[in-house]
Amino acid sequence: MTALWIAIAVAAAVNFAFKAAGPVALAGRTLPRRFERLLAVLPAALLTALVITQTFAREGALVLDARAAGLAAAGVALSLRANMLVVLLAATATTAGLRAL
């Protein structure tokens, strides 16, 4: 077994241990209501942060380019209650069209 595969196995074991630590530590205890409400909105907040940083940042700088226009097009399509496929097509077409210019 090479050093690379050993490193991959160790990283996988550490990752599994981190993921298992939460359920093992709680062990059937109930969380405070305030904490449960926080956990309910955490995935949406993390996804929003990821979208914003991937759209408006490049090499640590704020940029406004075709990605921002694609996000705006997706926002408009969502506000019009369009189907998710239409939203993705609008964002893709807008971004690709502006990049082609």
Per-domain residue ranges of the chain: 64-101
CB count in 10 Å sphere of residue 45: 10
| pTM to 2 decimal places | 0.65
12-20 contact pairs (CB < 8 A, 24+): none
Specify the pLDDT at position 91: 98
Is 80 exceeded by the pLDDT of residue 83? yes
Residue 93 predicted with pLDDT over 80 = yes
The amino acid occupying position 8 is I
Q: Using one digit for the tens of pLDDT, what is the confidence trace for 20-76?
A: 998 888 888 888 999 899 989 999 999 999 999 999 999 889 999 999 999 999 999
pLDDT at 82: 97
Q: Is 99 in contact with 66 (CB distance < 8 Å)?
A: yes
